[in-house]
Amino acid sequence: MKTFGYAAQSTTSPLAPFTFERRALRANDVAMDILYCGVCHSDLHTARNDWGWTTYPVVPGHEIVGRVTQVGPDVTRYKVGDHVAVGCMVDSCMHCDQCRKGEEQLCREGMTGTYSGVDRITKEPTHGGYSKHLVVREEFVLRVPDALDLSRVAPLLCAGITTYSPLRTWNVGPGSRVAVIGLGGLGHMAVKLAAGLGADVTVISRSPDKKADALSLGADHLLLSTDDKAMAGAASHFDLIIDTVPVKHDLNAYLPLLDVDGTLVIVGQVGPMAEYNTVPLLLGRRRVAGSPIGGIRETQEMLDFCAKKNILPECEMIRMDEINGAYDRMERSDVRYRFVIDMASLDTPKA
Ligand code: NAP
Ligand code: ZN
């Protein structure tokens, strides 16, 4: 089926209209019209090939909300008209130990990315949500709870699950002391979700002007990373630090902030990290860990949790043709706090 969207053709080309083929519906597939797509910093990293694994042309977008238009004969969970969502992966082997546990993001054979991936059957490139239509196997489709405002759900599919998963892995609940480094797309969801789980939440930011926002998002404190005195005063304060900084950075300032047995979990920077001193790790039995998105079961749990607690991202709605300007603003950390593309703004290309 022919569809259209926006793609990057090379590391330096801006995103531009692109017509391409979506694979034919298989027996276990769900086809959807895309209504909204969030703009993740990973889309920008991928469009520019920051990680070295982009295949061009790439249609980014892995925070996808849509309406079902067609289902294959074996699909049992969804019907035409349902509101559904798709996140960062569209397939995995489904038989390894991790997939059987519902941790498809950790599939031993590697999960299939929503974009810049390769379809496991036809070997066609996968293309993401900056487009009109999508076809995905049923097991990788999420149900959008009715209680959630559809226009604000999309960022939950990556920013939401990527921060919810470590909060659950490290058993955050009432009494936990959680810090979040970087108040952007992931960071603001980490704040809302940690607060929703009952934690005491601190934002660690370079931006003093984000203090009022941090508090209104549910944080209890804002710690300025540029204020050496305040940073020293926060030593041994946190059980879990979620680090969303998107570029290589210095962990030395953050590790002493962990309490004994505390964990700093990196969800932001992908690639080599600046050198850091192991003394605070050894002496405080502290840990540095990493975490990729979350499994499908946990993603549905997160959506249902957000519906129950009325947790939604702060979204700035943009038109599809505003995407390049949105990327420039994201690079300057000028996002409050997630861009969402209204896909109704993507016009049919002129023949
Ligand atoms: P974002 O909206 O741009 O937010 C990043 C925030 O980090 C900024 O708002 C800023 O907050 C802070 N920051 C930016 N540059 C910094 C620097 N040089 N030093 C210190 N802090 C800096 O990005 P995002 O969409 O949240 O994504 C964050 C990262 O997570 C990206 O690298 C993305 O690829 C990655 N990611 C990983 C996963 C995963 O599965 N682990 C999933 C999704 C995204 P302040 O102004 O408050 O300092
Ligand atoms: Zn993402």
pTM: 0.98
Give the domains, in start order, of the chain with CATH numbers: 2-157+313-345 (3.90.180.10), 160-290 (3.40.50.720)
Within 10 A of 289 (CB to CB), how many other CB atoms are there?
14
Q: How confident is the model at residue 290 (pLDDT cuts 50, 70, 90)?
A: very high
Residues recorded for the chain: 351
Residues by chain with Cβ below 5 Å of ion ligand 2:
40, 42, 158
**In the structure encoding, which two tokens stand for residue 108, read together?**
């031993």
Q: Ligand 1 atom 39: the closest Cα is on which residue?
A: 292
Query: Could you identify the atom of ligand 1 that is nearest to the CA of residue 293?
Result: 40
pLDDT in tens, 59-90: 999 999 999 999 999 999 999 999 999 999 99
Q: Ligand 1 atom 25: the closest Cα is on which residue?
A: 41
pLDDT in tens, 98-137: 999 999 999 999 999 999 999 999 999 999 999 999 999 9
pLDDT number for residue 349? 78
Whole-number average pLDDT of the chain = 97
Q: What is the mean pLDDT of residues 144-153?
A: 97
Tell which one of 37, 39, 40 to mutate to probe ligand 1, the residue whose CB is within 8 A of the most ligand atoms. Answer: 40
% of the chain at pLDDT higher than 90 = 98
Say which residue the tokens 């850091």 belong to: 276
Assess whether pLDDT exceeds 70 at residue 296: yes
Q: Ligand 1 atom 16: the closest Cα is on which residue?
A: 245
State in Å: Cα 179 to ligand 1 middle: 14
